[in-house]
A and B are shown apart, each in its own frame.
Chain A
Amino acid sequence: MSTDLSRVADPGSIKLYTTEPDHHDPITLRSIGFWLYMMSDIMIFAGLFAAHGVYGDAYGTSKITAAQVIDPISALFPTLFLFSSVLFFGLAGVALKNNDRKEVLRWMTAAFVVGLVFVLQEIWEFVKLAQEGAVPQASAFLSDFWTIVWAHGLHVIVGLIWMAVVLIQVLRDGFTEAVVGRFLNLRIFWFFQAVVWVFVYTFVYLMGVS
């Protein structure tokens, strides 16, 4: 307390700002940088959802309606797979906090496998749709439906490739600053896929049959 008072007494010692650049650690910088990328990535989905708001019931000459191609109950399975994968990756983050490499690898593998199940299930679902004639070129609604679901699906595929790479790096290099930074950015990316899926499930799947 007394030192504070003496500082106030001498206005010359008060520092309002530093003249030297602030040296943040690389992990913090990479995290905020990747977060800003994620914010712009969200704008891609904003554009797609805007298109969905316009073309949601634009069937044109096609006889295929949203209610025919969308089954919200079976779409609960990809929801379960994706949320589980996000949970497992989160648990890998908890293991990283505890510096337990074996557990990190175990949970990351679990997250990868369940994420892969999500993608394979989605491919299977859309192959069936294509066989029934519900192809993207059939109507504006179907173009929109395929584009939104696969814009998200493509994100998940990229996330899986990234996860495989980080898995190998954790195995090979351990928890170096570079690997931990990549793990943190992948965690941001992967968690975001669950957030986007909430909108996809609600505004594409559920809204399509309401």
Chain B
Amino acid sequence: MAHHQSSPIDHPEIQSASTLQYVSAFVLGLALMIVSCIITLGGGLSQSSTLTWIGILALIAVVGQLYLLFKLDLSKTMIWHTVSAVLTIPLVFISIVVTMWMFQYLEMRVMVGGS
């Protein structure tokens, strides 16, 4: 990677733009959301398996978008974007899952809230 670009447009992050990948991200995202919608409204599955399946589809959509839109990979240009994104995942997971677990347990122990 040259450190002194002759033109800002030669920057590798500008040069990585790709019509095929952006169109793929669009099609993938939209198709998966429509499939999730059909699974949810179809009503053929139990609530827990519906949630599992739409969760899996959302995960595929997001991983697909992260790769196709942001080009997160191990190249010299993108390695630190990728590393910081990977390190953010456990923080997001801990925030959501532990908070939900804590409140559910709290509700169970103090017997308030009803539902």
Would B37 and A32 count as touching, CB distance under 8 A? no
Across the interface, which residues of A come within 8 angstroms of B104, CB to CB?
54
Q: Main secondary structure on chain B at its contact with chain A?
A: helix
Residue pair B41, A73 in contact (C-beta under 8 Å): yes
Across-interface contacts of A58 in B (CB, < 8 A): 113, 115
Could you tell me how many residues of chain B have their Cβ less than 8 Å away from some Cβ of chain A? 55
Chain A hits for B5, CB < 8 A: 25, 27
The bracket for how many chain A residues form the interface is 35 or more
- Residues of A within 8 Å of B96, CB to CB, are 46, 49-50, 53
CB distance from A47 to the nearest CB of B (A): 6
Contacts A72-B37, A94-B19, A210-B54; is A194 near B65 (CB within 8 Å)? yes
CB of B74 to closest CB in A, whole Å: 15
Instruction: Let me know if A177 and B8 touch, CB within 8 A.
Output: yes
Give the chain A neighbours of B25 by CB distance below 8 A. Answer: 86-87, 90, 194
CB–CB B95/A46 < 8 A: yes
**Residue of A28, A49, A206, A207 contacting most chain B CB atoms (<10 Å):** A206
- Contact status of A202 and B8, CB under 8 A, knowing A42-B92, A72-B41: no
Task: Please give the distance in Å from A88's CB to the nearest CB on chain B.
Answer: 9
Q: Which residues of A contact B (CB under 8 A)?
A: 23-25, 27-28, 31-32, 35-36, 39, 42-43, 46-47, 49-51, 53-54, 57-58, 72-73, 76, 79-80, 83-84, 86-87, 90-91, 93-94, 96-97, 99, 175-177, 179-181, 184, 188, 191, 194-195, 198-199, 201-203, 206-207, 209-210
